[in-house]
Structures are given as structure tokens and as C-alpha cells.
Amino acid sequence: PRLANQIAAGEVVERPASVVKELLENALDAGAAHINVDVEQGGVRLVRVRDNGSGIPRDDLPLALSRHATSKIAAVEDLEAIGSLGFRGEALAAISSVSRLTLTSNDGADAEGWQVLVEGRDMAPVVSPAAHPQGTTVEMRDLFFNTPARRRFLRTEKTEFNHLEEVFRRIALSEFDTAFRLSHNQKVVHQLPVARDDAARAQRVGRLCGVAFMEQSVSVDIEAAGLRLHGWVGLPTFSRAQADLQYFYVNGRVIRDKVVNHAVRQAYSDVMYHGRHAAYVLFLELDPALVDVNVHPTKHEVRFREQRMVHDFLFRSLHRAVAELRP
């Protein structure tokens, strides 16, 4: 069974950033109000995500690490040759098969918590008592310690951390009701309190995207025909870092989409110069029935039912906002 886990790991676990994404999503699913992420060596040596969510009942702990799918692949050696097989929804099992994973949790049923530990693919989970407040801590150490070929694909500590921070940023930008902290090698990189009002949200965006973006941006909040667009639109910029400052969320999920890109480019056309990039953090809310988010397994793509209407709404809303920008 652990063999199948390693195959799934190829899909889910590409680098430390993918681990952080899965663990953050689990913590949010558990309704956490506070999430702390501690990483070491770009996340390769350690990723620890601690939440104060619902916790996992003792008897469910080993289940959380197991998966039910079987595989036709007979030899572990074949794994390194296999690309994406489209496994999904078994993140913890996948992560535990390529790292040393400890899951500690308390669902509030007992005063203390429980812990389960797994190292690589050959070990059955062992459950033991452990002190933990309500919530869950997932600690992943030594990513790819048992899959050297994968390990070789990892980049420098700085690059891996940049990817990881980007995952953190994308999630923290859309979950304002949750407090987050990210630390790298014992140094706090982001400390983000819950942001309930507009001012607090703007402050969080400033912390995640930089003061320059916030100072050179205008806020947007437009509603029409059942669509709502809100967020911040900034001046186009040259800088490499800012080139990636393009966050577009549909019903809380970050996406990349041709229709959106086209509307944004058109809206920016008056202020755009060669080589510059639009900078924005935008949230589109619409009837879930009008958008299909399952086009791609990683769910970064969407398909709007009414492309024309969405495009025109975005263009009109953004064009107005961009006109307010003062270079």
C-alpha cells in the first residue's frame, strides 16, 4: 500500500511548497482560526503546520495517513519513471510516504492529544498519547529522504522558500478570517492577525505584497448583475518581483484564466508600457453555478459559463479603477 502512496506523492508532493499547500488547506478545512507554519532549510528539512481547528479523533489518526487506492505498478523502482497519474485527495498519505511525518492532534474529546508517526513507505502508523491543545500539528521532516531521485530536483534553499512563501501568500491573501504566521529558520517572516475590516485587510495585503503596491494602488468594489469584484489594482510595474503580483480569486480560489487576463490587459491598455506588468489582488464572487472549477486537477483553472458577461464586467470595473491610478 505504501507503494501506491509514493505514486500519489509524485502528483501531490513536488517540493516543500506543495506540502505547505496541502497542510494549509487541511488546516483551513478544519476551521482553524490560527495557523502557524514553521519551516527550516526552505522546507526540505522541516515543515510544521499547527492549527487550532477541529482536531482529529484518536481512531481516525491512522486513517488520515492511509489511502485506499491500489496500484498496478509492481516495483518501487518504477516510481521514478512515472509521471502524473492523477491521484488526488490523499495528501497526507502521499507526504508521509516520502518524508518522516508526525501527526499530533486533539479533537477536544480527551484532555490530552494523540500522535501518530510514519517514516517512509514501509512503516505502519503507531499511535501514542501526546500533549496537544485542541487542533492539529503536522510535522514533516526530511522531504524525499527515501527517494533520492526526487531529492535531486529540489533547488536551493532560497528558491524552495520562495515557492513556499508564494503558496503561503496566495492562501493568506484570501483567508482574512484566519490569523497566520510563517517562520523560516526560526525567524518570523509573516505575522498576520485576523483582518475583519477593510483597513485590516489592506494592511495584510501590504504586508504580503509590499508597501509599494499598496501605496500605488486603488481599491475596487463593484457589484453588477450578480457579480462582485473587489480588491486592489496597482500601477503597472517593471520589477521582476512585482511581475508576479497578479492574484485573481474566484469564489475564494486563486486561478489563472485567459478571459480574466484578457480583460485585465485591456483595462490596463491606457497606462501600460512595453515590458510592464499589471499588479493586482482581486476577488470575483459569483454564483458557483456559473463557474466550473474542476477543469484542471490542481484547480487553478476555471471555466466561466458566461465568458462574455464576465469579461465585460471585469473590463468595465477595472478600466474605471485603472483610470484613477496616478503614476
Q: How far is the CB of 88 from ligand ADP (least distance, A)?
A: 7
Q: Does 92 bind ligand ADP (CB under 6 A)?
A: yes
Selected binder of Mg ion within 91, 208, 278, 282 (CB under 5 A): 91
Question: What is 112-147 written as a DSSP string?
Answer: SEEEEEEESTT---EEEEE---SEEEEEEESTTTT-
Residue 251's closest CA among 280, 227, 283?
A: 283
Selected binder of ligand ADP within 33, 80, 84, 89 (CB under 6 A): 89
Q: Does 98 bind ligand ADP (CB under 6 A)?
A: no
Nearest-angstrom CA–CA distance, 21 and 247: 16
**C-alpha 222 chain-centroid distance:** 26
Considering the complex, state which of residue 112 and residue 223 has its C-beta at the smaller distance from ligand ADP.
112
Residue 90's closest CA among 5, 25, 189?
A: 5
Considering the complex, state which of residue 91 and residue 172 has its C-beta at the smaller distance from ligand ADP.
91
Residue 166 has which C-alpha cell? 508564494
Q: Does 30 bind ligand ADP (CB under 6 A)?
A: yes
Binding mask 37-76 for ligand ADP (x = CB under 6 A): --------------x-xxxx-------x------------
Residue 37 contacts which entry, ligand ADP, Mg ion, none (Cβ below 5-8 A, type-dependent): none
Question: What is 69-98 written as a DSSP string?
Answer: ---S---GGGGGG-------S-HHHHHHHT
- Helix crossing, 16-29 with 157-172: angle to 10°? 20
Nearest-angstrom CA–CA distance, 216 and 229: 19
Scanning 87-95, 117-125, 154-162, 189-197 for contacts with ligand ADP by CB under 6 A, the matching segment is 87-95
Scanning 9-17, 87-95, 243-251, 264-272 for contacts with Mg ion by CB under 5 A, the matching segment is 87-95
Q: How far is the CB of 130 from ligand ADP (least distance, A)?
A: 15
Q: Does 321 bind ligand ADP (CB under 6 A)?
A: no
Query: How do beta strands 277-285 and 246-250 pair?
Result: parallel
For 296, residues 6+ apart whose C-beta sits below 8 A from its C-beta are: none
What are the beta bridge partners of residue 52? none
Nearest-angstrom CA–CA distance, 170 and 156: 21
Q: How far is the CB of 104 from ligand ADP (least distance, A)?
A: 10
Q: Does 56 bind Mg ion (CB under 5 A)?
A: no
Q: Does 94 bind Mg ion (CB under 5 A)?
A: no
Selected binder of Mg ion within 18, 26, 216, 237 (CB under 5 A): 26
| Number of residues in the chain | 327
* # residues contacting ligand ADP (CB under 6 A): 16
Considering the complex, state which of residue 26 and residue 36 has its C-beta at the smaller distance from Mg ion.
26
Q: How far is the CB of 172 from Mg ion (least distance, A)?
A: 18
Interface of this chain with ligand ADP, residues 105 to 164, rule: CB under 6 A: 136
Query: How do beta strands 34-40 and 179-184 pair?
Result: parallel
Q: How far is the CB of 210 from ligand ADP (least distance, A)?
A: 30
Nearest-angstrom CA–CA distance, 18 and 163: 9
Residues that bind ligand ADP (CB under 6 A): 22, 26-27, 30, 51, 53-56, 64, 89-93, 136
Residues that bind Mg ion (CB under 5 A): 26, 91
